[in-house]
Chains A and B, each alone.
Chain A
Amino acid sequence: MKTEHVTKTLPTLFLTVVLLLFAETAFTLDVEALVRQVEQQYMGASSRAQTTMLVKTSHWERSLEMEAWSLDRDYFLVRIIEPAKERDVATLKRYREVWNYLPKVDRVIKVPPSMMGGSWMGSHITNDDLVKANHIEKDYNLRLIEETETYFLVECLPKTDAAVVWGKIVYRINKTPQVPEQVDYYDEEMVRVREIHFDDVQQIGDRIVPMRLTVLPLEKPDEQTILHYRELVFDLPLDETYFSLRNLKKP
């Protein structure tokens, strides 16, 4: 099947959320400083989430129960719990590498560059952004383009030498509470091809997080992926060793 350049990945979404959560103070002043601060504040941050992913395409619909762990911006592990047929199928991201574990054949497979644009777990989320979108402020120039009573609009344009998928990304961030509302993705022709909407905002510990993300591939109006966080915990005692290939295989 052809790859779908429709969405970014789950960890990206995590990151988007977290990145924006930490953005509070410096944001209105200087976007670059904001990003730097976000990056520093993010260091050491870890999380665990129980999620439900609903994927709807014109041919099928399915629902996945997943458990996910993340550390910094560089480590991410997600494992399928339901349905039973796909139980323990897992994805590990370490820096710019993505690995999948397939319990049926008991093999760990590294996702090759040619498949990075491919759909992740059949959703409108691709492997590619899992790696690339984690470096938003490295690959894109950020600029505040609009500020209203209720929200900020931040435009991200790719740097000239950056190997990126999108022609432009626009974030709309709510002011109080400071959470993302919507992210729009444009292709090289500046046509908007994907939207991610955030809602169900809740307080988790001392943070305020939108618990539901809806990914809409605009080329296919009848398709969508909804990612719902049923449980989200921050600042767990996780280190890099947890994100090993061995752990990818063992629940």
Chain B
Amino acid sequence: MLLTLAFRNLWRNRRRTLLTLSAMVVSAALLILALGVFSGMFRDMLASATEQYYGHLVLAQTEYHERRDLFAHLDEEVASRYITAEETEIIGISPRLRSFGLISLAETSQPVEVLGVIPEREKQVTSLQTKLIAGDYPSDAVSNGALIGQGLARKLKVSTGDEMVFVTQAADGSIGNDLLIVTGIFATGDSRHDNNLVLAPLQWVQQVMVLPGRIHEVAMTLADPMLASLAADRLNPRLPGDVEILDWGDLLPEMREVIAAYDVSRMIIVSILYMATGLGILNTFFMSVMERTREFGILMAQGMRPWTIRGLVLLETCILGGIALAIGLTCGALMTLYMQQVGIDLAGYITPVTYAGGTILPRLHAVFEAGNFYVPAGMLLLVSLIAGFLPANRAARLDPVQAVREV
């Protein structure tokens, strides 16, 4: 009965209700879209660092990450000893050997970081194969095929099929050197990787560095990158003391802070926007309650308890909030979907920005994240209730005798 009453009351002043409703819908939908785009930006940043280089988890000797010590190497099979097939959340495992040295062509030389990888394994961890602008990803077919960044290719003036010399200090003290053939060129937008990173077959790097069967680290990807630190905490106790697993938050502390700060700023943005929406709701219901003073008086005179009156008004705001939520979430989700599938390319206006160890790509692109829906949704209901509470209280406190006389 109360529900029907509340519902009917809402539509007595259709224009006003619709206006308020549309304000709530628009604010919720736009908020969801904006948060989706923000999340997309952070996801891009995180992906640029993890899916183009680190991976979500990295197993290596303790302090290898800080010192990059050439001699801090591990057995090639180290991962299979500690990471079992039961770890279903780990969806990619790639052993790597890292070497710093020079790529030379006649008189030009560039300092580079060569990552020795097993191409098929590395593809599970990094996504450079999706960033190719020329040639192909190295395969097992070419024993010295290399994938290099666009910036490096430009500096060395090489294209696919060209030979380059890699020179480094080998582990036995000799000058490690050998020829690489460019099989592919990638462009990530992250200048550090585009200018310095070279992917080469693991065996080739092991031979140049005189480190047969050795690797420096095992990079891993997870189904959900946000669970990386939990996974690291769970796996680390299994490892011997001189080996550790770091998650991307350890590798990129700034990134972790940026993302933590995002959770706070999301609340602030939601609060500010809903403050305005809340005032609109408040206004609508005050008006509605004032208009119905006489009506409430009669209802009370007939024996309706004050808390029922209060409940009636609150129910009205809740219904309004609920309807706004349903439409707002749908619209927000649809817009987010559009931005996820299509997005807006800004490459013509801005260049990639590197920040906190990641790269913000010149595009507006949204991702779905549960928090971007339930935070605005929950807040909208909360605001509706708060905004409804004052008018409801006023209605409940009416003196029936005076209220009935009101015109």
Hey, which bits of chain A sit against chain B, CB under 8 A? 1-2, 55, 57, 59-60, 62, 85-86, 89, 100, 102, 104-105, 107, 109-112, 114-115, 118-119, 121-122
Contact = CB atoms under 8 A, between A and B. Distances in A.
Nearest to A102: B177
Interface residues of B, number: 23
B104 A1 contact: no
B109 A109 contact: yes
B229 interface: no
27 contacts: A1-B70, A1-B169, A2-B68, A2-B100, A55-B173, A57-B173, A59-B71, A59-B171, A60-B171, A62-B172, A102-B165, A102-B175, A102-B177, A105-B177, A109-B109, A111-B109, A112-B102, A115-B102, A115-B109, A115-B111, A121-B173, A121-B174, A121-B175, A122-B169, A122-B170, A122-B174, A122-B175
B396 interface: no
Contacts of B107: 110
A109 B172 contact: no
B221 interface: no
B185 interface: no
Nearest to B179: A105
A118 B111 CA distance: 12
Counting from the closest, the 9 A-B pairs by CB-CB distance are: A122-B173, A112-B109, A109-B104, A1-B169, A1-B70, A102-B177, A62-B173, A107-B165, A60-B173
B167 interface: yes
B104 A104 contact: no
Given A85-B174, A104-B177, A104-B178, A119 B169 contact: yes
Nearest to A107: B165
A112 B177 CA distance: 16
Interface string B161-202: 000010111111111011100000000000000000000000
A65 to B, nearest CB: 14
Interface centre among B100, B107, B110 (most CB of A within 10 A): B107
Contacts of A89: 175
Contacts of B111: 112, 114-115
Contact of A105 (B100, B165, B169, B170): B165
Contact of B175 (A55, A100, A114): A100
Interface of B: 68, 70-71, 100, 102, 104, 107, 109-111, 165, 167-175, 177-179
B175 A105 contact: no
Contacts of A107: 104, 165
Contacts of A122: 169-170, 172-175
Contact of B165 (A59, A62, A109): A109
A86 B168 contact: no
A139 B168 CA distance: 30
Contacts of A1: 70, 100, 168-169
Contacts of A112: 102, 109-111
A198 to B, nearest CB: 24
A250 to B, nearest CB: 18
Nearest to B169: A1
A105 B208 CA distance: 12
Contacts of A119: 169
A190 to B, nearest CB: 26
Contacts of B102: 109, 112, 115
B23 to A, nearest CB: 60
B262 to A, nearest CB: 35
Contact of A60 (B100, B167, B172, B175): B172
Q: Count chain A CB atoms within 10 A of each CB in B104, B173, B178 and give the residue with the most.
A: B173
A176 B169 CA distance: 41
Nearest to B163: A105
B146 to A, nearest CB: 14
A115 to B, nearest CB: 6
A86 B173 CA distance: 11
Contacts of A2: 68, 100
Given A107-B165, A119-B169, A86 B174 contact: yes
Contacts of B100: 1-2
B172 A110 contact: no
Given A86-B175, A121-B173, 18 more contacts: A1-B100, A1-B168, A62-B174, A100-B175, A102-B167, A102-B175, A102-B177, A105-B177, A105-B178, A107-B104, A109-B167, A112-B110, A115-B102, A115-B109, A118-B169, A121-B174, A121-B175, A122-B174
Contacts of B170: 122
Contacts of A55: 173
Contacts of B178: 104-105
Contacts of A105: 165, 177-179
Nearest to B208: A104
Nearest to B177: A102
